[in-house]
Amino acid sequence: MLMSICHVKKEFNGTPVLRDVNMDIDKGDVVVILGPSGSGKTTFLRCLNFLERADGGELELDGKTIDLHDASNKDIADVRRKTAFVFQNYNLFANKTVLENVTLGLTAGRGISKTEAEERAREALQKVGML
Ligand SMILES: Nc1ncnc2c1ncn2[C@@H]1O[C@H](COP(=O)(O)OP(=O)(O)O)[C@@H](O)[C@H]1O
Ligand SMILES: [Mg+2]
């Protein structure tokens, strides 16, 4: 198992939005979270990345279990290094090139050298026909 999500709970002002949500994800899985607008899809993802603090639940990632309510700043940084979030709206840096936008997370976020980051970025851009 790559990632196990257990018993996620979240309410806003007494209204439950996530009620005991569970999900197991294997390496290579492509998972779609589907549901009507307002059903809690974004809240669920925000809780996993700690943009929102869940009321309860656990995330098991890389063999380590993290409490979604009580995670330390170090645990949060650790999860964020291993996950990525693509926002629905436009969040590129307009003053940077495509290559700079793609490499910034690797160099600033993960401490990968500029040379290696550019190599990986070029491979990724090649894959989607943007090189
Ligand atoms: N910060 C917040 N404060 C109060 N209510 C919120 C907040 N964020 C989301 N909600 C409510 O939680 C519910 C789920 O929202 P959301 O996760 O954005 O749904 P989805 O992404 O599936 O459209 C909605 O009723 C929404 O109004
Ligand atoms: Mg949403």
Nearest CA to ligand 1 atom 16: 40
| Ligand 1 contacts CB of residue 69 (under 6 A) | no
pLDDT band at 91 (very low <50, low <70, confident <90, very high): confident
Asked if pLDDT for residue 10 goes beyond 80, the answer is: yes
The larger pLDDT score, comparing residue 92 to residue 107, is at 107
Residue 110 is predicted with a pLDDT of: 87
Nearest CA to ligand 1 atom 1: 12
Q: Which ligand is nearest to the CA of 39?
A: 1
* DSSP letter for each residue of 29-95: --------TTSSHHHHHHHHTTSS--SEEEEEETTEEEETTT--HHHHHHHHHH-----SS----TT
Residue 11 is predicted with a pLDDT of: 98
Residue 1 is predicted with a pLDDT of: 82
64 CA to centre of ligand 2 in angstroms: 28
The string of pLDDT tens digits covering residues 54-89 is 999 999 998 899 999 999 999 999 998 888 877 777
- CATH architecture entry for 3-82: 3-Layer(aba) Sandwich (3.40)
Asked if pLDDT for residue 37 goes beyond 80, the answer is: yes
Mean of the per-residue pLDDT values of the chain: 94
CA distance 103 to 126: 14
Asked if pLDDT for residue 99 goes beyond 80, the answer is: yes
- Give ranges for CATH 3.40.50.300 in the chain: 3-82
